[in-house]
A and B are shown apart, each in its own frame.
Chain A
C-alpha cells in the first residue's frame, strides 16, 4: 500500500516525461527515418557525412572541448581557493557565482554582444587606454568566451561541493604520515574531487556541444555549429526530416559522452548526480 502511494506521487513526473521527453524523441525518430513523403530512408542520418555537416559537427566538438577545458582550468583552482576561505565568505562568493543565473541567459549574451561590438564599451575603454581594439565579436573566440561565461558555474559548483566534503582529518592524517603538499593534492584531493569534476565536465560539455543561440548571436552568422545547421533545417528550410536525422546523430554524441563520463565517475567513487 505504502509503495503504491509512492508510485502515485511520481505520476505527474512520469506524465511529464512521457509528454515532453519520450514523445518528442519518438517523433524525432519517426522524422529521422522517413522522407518528406513518409517513406523509410537512412539518408537523413547518413547526411551527417556530407562535408558541410561534418565540418559543423567537428567545429562544435572543438569549441565544446575548448570551453570545457577552459572552464576546468578556471574552476579547479577557484574551488580550492574558495574551500580555504572562511565559511562566511565562502557563502558570499558562491552567491556571487550564482547571481548571474538570476537573469535569463539570452539577455546576458545580448549584453555581451553590445559590450564586444566595434564601438562597444570594452573597445572604447581599450582605445582610451591606448590599447589595440578587441576584434573578437563574430568569431569563434567570442562564441567560446561566452560559452565559458555561461557554463562556468556548472563547473565550479560540483567541484566546490566535492572539495568541501573532504574532511580535514583525512588531509591531516596524510600530512602526519609524511605526505608533502604535492602528494596530498594528487593522491587525496584529486581522486576525492573526481566525481565533482566528472559531473562538471558533463554539465558543461553537453550544453556547449548542442548550443546554437550563442553562436547565432555572437558569431554574427559566420560560425555554423551543428546546432545551427539543425535549427536552420527546421526553421528556414522546412526540412524536419533532415533536422531530426542530424539531431539523432548529435544525441548519439551526447549520450556517448555522458556514458563515458559516468563510467569514469564510477571508477572515482560515487557520482554526484
Chain B
C-alpha cells in the first residue's frame, strides 16, 4: 500500500516537475517543520526562536486529531515535530511512527511537573516519546443569564427541551460520544457495540435541540451570546470567560475526559535535533509564559504556573482541581473496526433530520 502510494506520488511529482521546481524539502537546510493545533502557539515565540537559533520554522496548523493523522499519513510533508492529543499519540506509538526523545537535549524539561509525566503514562508508559504541552478537561460553558445554574452539574442539561435551539454540541466523534456515554454511566473508551448504539440513540434524540455542532468556533458563539451552552475544552472556556462576564464553566459530576496535548517527534523527522532544541525552548519559562498567555490552557510547566497571579493559579476553569481530574478519564485509541463503527454511528447522527 505504502509503495503504491509512493509510486502515485512519484508520478504526480514527475508530471509536475516541469511546472514547479523546488517544492520538496531540502535536507541540508537548517529548518524545522512543525504541525500544531490552530491558535496553539504564540507566533511571536516562533520569530524569537528563529532569531535566536537561525533555524527557520515552517509552521502548519490543523483542527482535529483526525485531521492531523490524515495530514501526517498523506506523507506529502516531512514533519519534524507534532503536537496532538493523548489517544492519537498512543495510536501513532502503536503504529511505530514515533521517535524516542533524547532528554539530554531538552534540559529544561525539568520545568515540567513530574505529576504530569505520570498522567502521560496512560499513553506513553515509559515517558519515552512525549513532552506534555497543555492539559485540561471537557465541560459545559454556559451563559448564567440564560441557564438555570442548579442544572449544569449534569450532562443531562444538554438534553433539556427548555434550551432547544440554544445548545452547541462538539463537532467531534469522540467528544460527543463521551458526553452520551458518561450520561449512561459507561467508560468513554467503551468498545461495546450495544453501548455505543445506546449513546447514538441519545445523540439522535438530542439533535433537534442542537443549535450547531462546532469545535473551534463554539467559544466565539458563546462570547457573542448566540447560544446558552456549549460543550468545550476547559481552556477555551477560560479564554471565553475573559471576554464575557455572563459565562461560566462546569465539569459535570458524571465525569468527563481529561486530555493531555503533547509534543512528539514523528518518524518522518529530518531535523530531530532542531526539534529537540525547539522543545527545550518551549519549556523555557518566558516562552512557556508567552504561550500560556496566548493559549490560556492549563500548563504543566511548574515555573510558569508559580509565576502567575494567585487568582489565576486558583482559577478552577483553567486549572482543574484534583477532585475533578480524578473523576475524568483519558481517551484511548480505538482499533480500526470500532473506529469505523463509531464513525458510521456519528455520521448517522450528523445526517439525521
Contacts and interface: CB of A to CB of B under 8 A. Distances in A.
B226 A222 contact: no
Interface stretch (B27-35, B286-294, B343-351): B343-351
Contact of B12 (A19, A220, A229): A19
Interface residues of A, number: 32
Interface stretch (A81-89, A170-178, A234-242): A234-242
B353 to A, nearest CB: 9
B212 A221 contact: yes
Contact of B213 (A23, A37, A220, A229): A220
A257 interface: no
Interface of A: 15-16, 18-19, 23, 27, 30, 36-38, 52, 55-56, 117-120, 135, 137-138, 220-222, 224, 228-229, 232, 234-238
Interface stretch (B65-73, B257-265, B308-316): B65-73
A222 B225 contact: no
11 contacts: A15-B18, A18-B15, A117-B224, A118-B225, A118-B227, A220-B213, A222-B207, A236-B64, A236-B66, A237-B340, A238-B66
Interface of B: 1, 4, 8, 11-12, 15-16, 18-19, 64, 66-67, 69-70, 73, 165, 171, 173, 207, 210-214, 221, 224-227, 339-340, 343-344, 347-348, 350-351
Contacts of A237: 66, 339-340, 343
B70 A52 contact: no
A27 B210 CA distance: 38
A27 B12 contact: yes
B338 to A, nearest CB: 13
Q: Is chain B's interface secondary structure helix, strand, loop, or mixed overall?
A: helix
A229 B11 CA distance: 28
Contact of B350 (A119, A221, A238): A221
B171 A221 contact: yes
B226 A118 contact: yes
Contacts of A119: 224-226
B351 A56 contact: yes
Nearest to A225: B351
A208 to B, nearest CB: 19
Nearest to B69: A238
Given A221-B214, A222-B213, A229 B15 contact: no
A236 B343 contact: yes
A222 B67 contact: no
**Which of A37, A55, A56, A221 has the most B CB atoms < 10 Å from its CB?**
A221
Contacts of A37: 1
Contacts of B226: 117-120
Given A27-B8, A221-B171, A235-B70, A19 B16 contact: yes
B67 A52 contact: no
A18 B347 CA distance: 35
B116 to A, nearest CB: 29
A19 B171 contact: no
Given A16-B19, A220-B211, A236-B66, A30 B8 contact: yes
Contact of A19 (B19, B211, B221): B19
**Which of B214, B225, B343 has the most A CB atoms < 10 Å from its CB?**
B343
Contacts of B165: 135
Nearest to A35: B1
A120 B171 CA distance: 22
A18 B171 CA distance: 37
Given A38-B4, A135-B165, A232-B347, A222 B15 contact: no
Contacts of B207: 222
